Structure 1
Amino acid sequence: MIVITSPTGRIGRSLLPLLLDEAPARGERLRVVVRDPARLPAGVRDRVEVVVGSHREPDVVDEAFAGADAVFWLVPPDPRTADLDAAYAGFTLAAAGAFARQGVGHVVGVSALGRGTPFARHAGHVTASLAMDDLIAGTGVAYRALANPTFMDNLLPQAARIRDEGVYANVVRADVAAPLVAVRDIAAVAARLLLDRSWSGAGEVPVLGPEDLSAREMAAVMTEVLGRPVRYERQSEADLRAMLGGAGAGAAIVEGFVAMLRAKEAGLDAGVERTPETASPTSFRTWCEEVLKPAVRA
């Protein structure tokens, strides 16, 4: 039995089809934890067990993890949280107890790059994610934290501005090169680990994408793929705060993003070597052709 939390989020939506394709042939049943089952595609609802509720709640995770061999763990965003540690490790406390009570053998979690760098202690959401990893690892379950850099898919909310103004924005300097990863590649690594549980102990699995790119280089790729000029606009931290606050994010979330992006500019994501094992396959150009271009044209 494999349990998937947050199955309707970006990563969960990519992970579920992979598991539905492979799990039955391996004799694996699938169970999902979801607040609103109606958000699951009809074809998925018919092929998985559904536990309704929030995976923050003790009774929900006890029901969901009963008889489970492996769990995919992802903390959903909480834009109004007053505290990042509460949003990550606090959200995970009930599950950490349930892993032990229910005898869960393996857990794969979504986390972030940065452990071991001098920037990780003051990196907002990343710092909170790493503390969550420590909590899960401390339960004694076999754990793999997917250590991710910035998601390519984070550009999708800017698709309309890219189309209408030829601009995308962030606060990081235009010349800072860093790894980028496609959500679908994160899902593929998660599926592999969930289906082949020959691993033990606790550790990280970096998912780095095939290359490092700067914001300026990303703009050049988008220009070529979209066939129209796209430029990068470096926004101020004040502008970022205003944008996130205007979208409904509370102060803790806003300041967590500001701190994370400062740390990324300083080199937070540069602490892991890219190897054949850590390099995921989807290039930024491929992602732009297959994901961004249709979104811009929609």
Structure 2
Amino acid sequence: MQIAVTTPTGNVGRHVVTALLRAGVRPRVLLRDPSRLDPGVKDDVDAVRVDQYDAAAVAAATRGVDALFWVDPTTGSEDPLADYARATASVVGAVTENGIGRVVFQSSVGAEKRQGAGEIDGLAHTETALDALGIDVTHLRCGYFFTNLELQLDALRAGTLQVILPLDQPMAWVAPRDIAEVAAGRLLSPTWSGRCVQAVHGPADLTWREVAHLLTAATGRTIGVERITDDAMRAQLHRAGMTDGLVEAVLGMSTGLREDFVPEQPRTVRTTTPTTLASWAYDHLRHRIGDEAAGTMR
């Protein structure tokens, strides 16, 4: 079976690649810059240089593919949803032209709303477009990535995270490696068919207060959290260089899910994955937020 993997250097994609290698599969990996591949895997994969927004290039790169792990690429443009639509056109075109019968798509909790959740609306569009093809497709509805905290290293060093969600509102938090293991299992398993939705909720739903407590224990640095206004967050994102359209799309991922939202898939054994935020933070954040924090753990 020929399996293709997009975003193979990303937080999830790189783990999908290694999981497939461990299973004895030589995957085809699609990426803009093959030089970014981990040197440890480059001799064991077939790398194809491709821009996922280029529908013709994606179709050419996926000829002969039986199964595809598709991730809509990140966007930094003024119109993120237009970019998601372009990526959707690429995967739809490749699946149709090449007769790819099996797709695992990295979606998000909140895509079930279909609209009103910022950037997640772009993932919802990809879901519905793949559904319309009548292929075997699994949508991975993933929780909030642990790795999003790596975008807030300065705030962690300063000791205070700022968020716009209620501090006591629980949500699913998940390790990207756990998502990859679910994705690889789906790509390799012959036992499912049709349209499937597989939630990937991590080990527990956590509030931001609980997250701050866990990060404090894992890193040895006192970390708090405060809720700020939407406008204050909007100003922060603008200062970070985001365009107006991107700012609203990013804000929408929180504002669209903070009022009476309940994930379509409940937490069950099937949707729960093992890696805890505490263990991930100890491994990945402890040394990155400063020698002082690392020193207190010795």
Note whether the superposition's TM-score is higher than 0.5: yes
RMSD of equivalent CA atoms: 1.7
Conserved 8 A contact 1:149-1:269: no
Of all paired residues, the percent bearing the same amino acid is 33
Aligned to 1:113: 109
Structure 1 residues 42, 116: closer, same or farther in 2, change over 3 A? closer
Structure 1 residues 220, 87: closer, same or farther in 2, change over 3 A? same
Aligned to 1:74: 71
Considering fraction of residues, name the structure with more helix. Answer: 1
Q: Are residue 175 (structure 1) and residue 168 (structure 2) matched?
A: yes
The SS at the match of 2:44 is coil
Aligned to 2:286: 293
Aligned to 1:39: 36
| 1:18 partner amino acid | A
Which 4+ runs in 1 deviate beyond 3 A? Answer: 267-271
Structure 1 residues 43, 224: closer, same or farther in 2, change over 3 A? closer
Q: 1:100 aligns with which of 79, 93, 96?
A: 96
Q: Are residue 215 (structure 1) and residue 208 (structure 2) matched?
A: yes
Q: How does 1:273-288 map onto structure 2 within 5 Å?
A: 273-288=266-281
Structure 1 residues 198, 134: closer, same or farther in 2, change over 3 A? same
Q: Are residue 6 (structure 1) and residue 7 (structure 2) matched?
A: yes
Q: Are residue 148 (structure 1) and residue 142 (structure 2) matched?
A: yes
| 2:175 partner amino acid | A
**What number of residue pairs does the alignment pair up?**
290
Instruction: Give the alignment's TM-score, normalised by structure 1.
Output: 0.91
Structure 1 residues 44, 102: closer, same or farther in 2, change over 3 A? same
Gaps of 5+ in 1: none
Aligned to 1:87: 83
Conserved 8 A contact 2:31-2:49: yes
Separation (CA, whole Å) in 2 of partners of 1:170 and 1:269: 19
Q: 2:221 aligns with which of 228, 248, 262?
A: 228
Gaps of 5+ in 2: 292-298
Q: 1:254 aligns with which of 247, 252, 263?
A: 247
- Quick check: 255-264 or 267-276, which moved more? 267-276
| 1:2 partner amino acid | I
Structure 1 residues 267, 187: closer, same or farther in 2, change over 3 A? farther
Deviations 1:126-148 (A, max 9, x none): 22211111001211221111101
Instruction: Give the alignment's TM-score, normalised by structure 2.
Output: 0.91
